[in-house]
Structure 1
Amino acid sequence: MRIGILKCGQSPEVIRGELGDYDTLFERLLAGRGFEFTSYHVEAMAFPASVHDAEGWLLTGSRHGVYEDHAFIPPLEDFIRRAYAEHVPMVGICFGHQIIAQALGGKVAKHPGGWAIGPQDYDFEGELVTMNAWHQDQVQERPPGATVLASNDFCENAVLAYDDRALTVQAHPEFGDDFIHGLLDHRAKGVVPEPLQDAARARMGGPLHSAGIADRIEHFLKQPRASMAEARRGVA
């Protein structure tokens, strides 16, 4: 199955050579599951010609806010709406989670409670799941048709499902503790309050449920779907 990775940003250059860019992280997360990958650096305006250039799409994180004025955001929202209308499945992570929500009518804003960084616990359909997070923005208002699959007290809309067309996750299943350490060392100073940095460092080293989230992503992307023609006739 061909998955197109839409790179909405890049990992910090100072750790990119050692730990990889965002597309590399997802290729590792989903390795051995029968996927082939093609990356498009949409932040640099390198877009696919069609939503059908891949059988599914994965939208990465980014240092940008989805509500900011960047040239790549309007065409990315258009792409999302086309893929959604044509039933081409999408997975969105962090920025990807937020831009899908915004493109489909939701609202994203900085959370008044501040940042979530490092390991965070979520209630995922009754299962306790731990993932690394790194965000201040989050989905404040869900778009029509979005269903909450996971949440916690800090982030109500932590995982959203849009029937069989999109699955989006606010946290970062692709981030290991080594990547969070890199962000703490090179991006947190003067931005993230020191008590939050200390708490994140103290909690790292415990189990993460990255493999379980990869299982869910694989199942979502590979599940049987009606053809586009059937969907348009109202069969789906």
Structure 2
Amino acid sequence: MKIGLLETGNPPGDLAETHGGYAAMFEALLGPEHSYRVYDVQKGELPEDPAENDAYVITGSAAGVYDPLPWIEPLKAFLRAAKGETPLVGVCFGHQIMAEAFGGKVVKSDKGWGVGLQAYEVAERAPWMDDAHHVSVPGSHQDQVVELPPGTRVLAGSAFTPYGILAYDDARAISMQFHPEFSPAYAKALIEARRGTRFTDEQADAAIASLSAENDRTRMAEWIGRFLAQETQA
């Protein structure tokens, strides 16, 4: 499968030197059986046609979908063009930009930051999922989807993040607010990089401690892989 990675952000500071960029994290998560093409969306790089790849993954970003950045609207336009034509998977910012592009709403939540290991309860099982009742994966977000696009199903969420995993049946798309591509080591390093600016010491300590527990990153990779296989064979 040829997967287009729409890279919308970069690790802060020198973290990319140690942990790789976000596109590289997705390549490691989804595995070497696929081929990948990376698009630097912040520099204006987007596929000329959705058919350039078999599927697309939209990465996380420090940007907000509501920010007046020159690459935001072209990305939304591409997603609308790809809707229903090419399978899409959105993660964190990717989850949010898909919701906005397809008719939902995203805001900077007054709940504050969700950081550390984030647990979602499964509300509905799609064919590409297994029988897990809940999933725990590293997360890092303040923005949240607060209004769902038409035709969206909520597959999993929490009290903090009600719209944690979404399915767009009319769009051949899924998205999730947490970060399965983040290793615990990177998630901890990211928290340390933001300690004292975005997070208090107490918040940072609690989030880092949570990341020592078992997580479902491998399960998420399997879910995404089965979803993409299902949609590209349809």
TM surpasses 0.5: yes
Q: Deviations over 1:5-39 (max 9, x none)?
A: 0001111231101100000000000114x311100
1:28 equivalent in structure 2: 28
SS in 2 for 1:139: strand
Q: State the one-letter code of the partner of 2:213.
A: G
1:156 equivalent in structure 2: 162
RMSD over aligned Cα atoms: 1.5
SS in 2 for 1:5: strand
Deviation (angstroms), 1:194: 2.8
Q: Deviations over 1:130-174 (max 9, x none)?
A: 000000001000000111011001000000000161110100001
1:100 equivalent in structure 2: 98
1:41 equivalent in structure 2: 40
Q: Deviations over 1:43-100 (max 9, x none)?
A: 1111111111101000000000001100000000000000004x21100000000000
Deviation (angstroms), 1:225: 5.8
Percentage identity across paired residues of the two chains: 37
Q: State the one-letter code of the partner of 2:191.
A: L
> For residues 224 and 62 of structure 1, what CA distance do their matches in structure 2 show?
26
Q: Deviations over 1:94-118 (max 9, x none)?
A: 0000000000010000111101001
> For residues 147 and 75 of structure 1, what CA distance do their matches in structure 2 show?
26
**Correspondence 1:56 to 2:55:** yes
Q: Which runs of 5+ in 1 are unaligned?
A: 228-236
1:111 equivalent in structure 2: 109
Aligned residue pair count: 225
Q: State the one-letter code of the partner of 1:14.
A: D
Q: 1:120 aligns with which of 109, 115, 118?
A: 118
> For residues 195 and 13 of structure 1, what CA distance do their matches in structure 2 show?
23
> For residues 188 and 162 of structure 1, what CA distance do their matches in structure 2 show?
36
Q: State the one-letter code of the partner of 1:15.
A: L
Q: State the one-letter code of the partner of 1:5.
A: L
Q: Which runs of 5+ in 2 are unaligned?
A: 124-131
**Correspondence 1:206 to 2:204:** no
Q: Which runs of at least 4 in structure 1 moved beyond 2 Å after TM superposition?
A: 224-227
- What TM-score does the superposition give when structure 2 sets the normalisation length? 0.92
SS in 1 for 2:52: coil
